[in-house]
């Protein structure tokens, strides 16, 4: 690979695309409606590859992703190489929270998350007292094989002065030594993946195409629900362990916010993508939402905004009943991406607060005809963008994996035909 030099024309194109998106963020009228592109396994369909090949073949995946960006010329694109090509790194980690092609699902199926109880009900206190210790001894060995053995580490803050000398014997234990060696090997593969991702994004920048974001984050509630307690357990915790849940929400809010700010600053791209999982109308009552879900996330958004970061919460499913609540943030600082929430309704409530992104329906994109895609884009342009809405057109949650290529072409064509 050689570095691609950015031509003046490519720089102008990059700047125009970037300005288009930033105009939306700042609630100014862009020269035309920007279009976002966020494929994952759709790239396999587009490139004539299996999902497994997409996850493992760095060079073919990078080539297909580049071809997609050059054909569709999106105003912003997701870090699609990184999102797709993680197979080798997952394998090197012996990662247990996902099943992916060749590891639990077929060669032509997307990866899928395994909802499990990764932190047990009686372990809240252990996490709260010493999150890092809990990670070493309990959490990490449960989520990836390379960490097995770290459970033999002592409580590190219990070592001091000369205790540190004898305490270091723990690192020579066979199980710990093996874990450390495997972690190094896994880290090297992750580094290769990251470097290839950066080379891809640097090339896209040189060719004139900005990334939508370079880092993803999570709400405090979803962090606990999805990756620690599991779906069934978190719902019962709302009744059985309210106080512990509140304490953990506060603890992880601080941790997530700090790490998000550090990572986003290091990436050089001010946006952060935050897919949400447990906010939808049907998942909890308004009172539960306003007690557990929204307050820590709102504080996180405020802290990110204060650090000059532009959050892109992706409001999964239908969040219509939440619109009035989530409007309570500073204006012109976020992009709210909606999946199933009616975009016209979202515009009515949030039009003077945030930019909007989305939300062509997955069922229409995957089973519909190009003329139906055209009509759906026109509907959003007529009822949101042309009425002053700061809309970034996109699919509901990225391009669904099974979407016919002609429907994606219809989406981009229609956006340019109707959106200026």
Partner 1 sequence: MALDDSALVAAIADMDEDVALELARGALNDGCEPQHILDLCRAAMDIVGARFEQGEYFLPELMMAGEMLEQIGAMVKPLMLAGEADAAASAGPVVMIGTVHGDLHDIGKNIVTFMLEVNGFKVVDLGIDVPVKTFIDKIKEHQPVVVGLSGFLTLAFDSMKETVDAIAAAGLRDSLKIMIGGGQVDETVRAYTGADAFGLNAMAAVSLCQEWLGRAKAA
Find out whether 104 and 45 touch, Cβ atoms under 8 Å: no
Find out whether 99 and 107 touch, Cβ atoms under 8 Å: no
Find out whether 216 and 272 touch, Cβ atoms under 8 Å: yes
115 binds partner 1 (CB under 8 A): yes
Nearer to partner 1, 110 or 419 (CB): 110
CA separation, residue 226 to residues 44, 99, 263 (Å) = 27, 15, 21
Q: How far is the CB of 112 from partner 1 (least distance, A)?
A: 5
238 binds partner 1 (CB under 8 A): yes
Nearer to partner 1, 41 or 124 (CB): 41
CA distance 107 to 81: 18
Q: Which position among 114, 121, 164, 255 is part of the footprint of partner 1 (CB under 8 A)?
A: 114
* Segment interacting with partner 1 (CB under 8 A) among 116-124, 347-355, 384-392, 400-408: 400-408
* Segment interacting with partner 1 (CB under 8 A) among 8-16, 134-142, 237-245, 296-304: 237-245
Site size for partner 1 (CB under 8 A): 33
245 binds partner 1 (CB under 8 A): no
CA separation, residue 303 to residues 62, 219, 307, 322, 354 (Å) = 34, 13, 6, 21, 17
320 binds partner 1 (CB under 8 A): no
396 binds partner 1 (CB under 8 A): yes
Own/partner pairs, 313-316, CB within 8 angstroms, 24+ separation: 313/219, 313/274, 313/275, 313/276, 313/337, 314/273, 314/274, 314/275, 314/276, 314/339, 314/357, 314/397, 315/276, 315/279, 315/280, 315/339, 315/341, 316/275, 316/276, 316/277, 316/279, 316/280, 316/397
Checking DSSP bridges between strand 98-101 and strand 112-113, what pairing results, if any?
A: antiparallel
106 binds partner 1 (CB under 8 A): yes
Q: How far is the CB of 255 from partner 1 (least distance, A)?
A: 25
112 binds partner 1 (CB under 8 A): yes
Q: Which position among 274, 335, 364, 393 is part of the footprint of partner 1 (CB under 8 A)?
A: 364
Nearer to partner 1, 21 or 410 (CB): 410
110 binds partner 1 (CB under 8 A): yes
400 binds partner 1 (CB under 8 A): yes
12 binds partner 1 (CB under 8 A): no
Q: Residue 200's Cα: distance from chain center in Å?
A: 18
Binding mask 66-105 for partner 1 (x = CB under 8 A): ---------------------------------x----xx
Give the pair of three-digit tokens for residue 92.
């090197």
Nearer to partner 1, 139 or 293 (CB): 293
Nearest to 213 by CA among 18, 417, 29, 393: 18
368 binds partner 1 (CB under 8 A): yes
Does an H or E element contain 311, and which?
strand 310-315
| Residue 401 φ then ψ, to 5° | -55, -35
Interface of this chain with partner 1, residues 169 to 188, rule: CB under 8 A: none
Interface of this chain with partner 1, residues 321 to 360, rule: CB under 8 A: 340
7 binds partner 1 (CB under 8 A): no
CA separation, residue 58 to residues 63, 210, 363 (Å) = 9, 21, 30
Residues in contact with partner 1 by the rule CB under 8 A: 99, 104-106, 109-110, 112, 114-115, 231-232, 235-236, 238-240, 282-285, 288, 340, 361-364, 366-368, 396, 400-402
């Amino acid at each position: 690979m050689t570095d691609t030099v950015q031509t003046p024309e490519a720089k102008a194109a990059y700047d125009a695309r970037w300005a288009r998106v930033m105009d939306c963020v700042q609630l100014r009228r862009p020269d035309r409606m920007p279009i976002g592109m966020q494929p994952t396994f759709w790239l396999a369909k587009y490139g004539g590859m299996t999902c497994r090949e997409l996850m493992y073949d760095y060079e073919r995946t990078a080539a297909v992703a580049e071809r997609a960006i050059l054909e569709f010329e999106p105003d912003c694109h997701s870090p699609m190489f990184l999102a797709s090509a993680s197979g080798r790194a997952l394998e090197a980690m012996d990662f247990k929270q996902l099943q992916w092609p060749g590891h639990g699902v077929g060669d032509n199926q997307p990866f899928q998350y395994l909802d499990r109880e990764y932190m047990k009900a009686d372990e809240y206190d252990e996490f709260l007292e010493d999150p890092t210790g809990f990670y070493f001894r309990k959490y990490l060995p449960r989520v990836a094989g390379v960490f097995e053995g770290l459970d033999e580490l002592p409580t590190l803050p219990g070592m001091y002065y000369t205790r540190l000398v004898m305490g270091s014997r723990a690192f020579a234990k066979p199980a710990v030594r093996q874990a450390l060696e495997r972690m190094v090997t896994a880290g090297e593969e992750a580094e290769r993946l990251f470097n290839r991702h950066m080379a891809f994004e640097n090339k896209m920048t040189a060719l004139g195409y900005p990334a939508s974001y370079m880092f993803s984050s999570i709400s405090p509630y979803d962090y606990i629900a999805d990756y620690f307690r599991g779906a069934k357990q978190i719902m019962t915790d709302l009744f059985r362990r309210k106080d512990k849940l509140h304490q953990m929400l506060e603890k992880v809010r601080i941790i997530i916010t700090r790490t998000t700010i550090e990572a986003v600053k290091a990436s050089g791209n001010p946006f952060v993508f935050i897919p949400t999982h447990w906010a939808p109308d049907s998942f909890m009552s308004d009172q539960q939402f306003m007690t557990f879900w929204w307050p820590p996330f709102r504080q996180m958004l405020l802290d990110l905004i204060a650090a000059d970061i532009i959050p892109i919460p992706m409001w999964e499913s239908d969040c219509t009943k939440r619109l009035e609540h989530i409007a309570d943030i500073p204006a012109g600082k976020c992009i709210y991406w909606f999946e199933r929430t009616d975009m016209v309704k979202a515009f009515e409530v949030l039009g003077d607060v945030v930019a909007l992104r989305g939300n062509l329906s997955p069922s229409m994109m995957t089973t519909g005809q190009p003329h139906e895609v055209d009509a759906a884009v026109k509907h959003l342009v007529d009822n949101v963008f042309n009425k002053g809405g700061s809309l970034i057109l996109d699919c509901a949650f990225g391009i669904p994996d099974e979407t016919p290529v002609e429907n994606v072409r219809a989406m981009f064509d229609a956006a340019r035909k109707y959106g200026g």
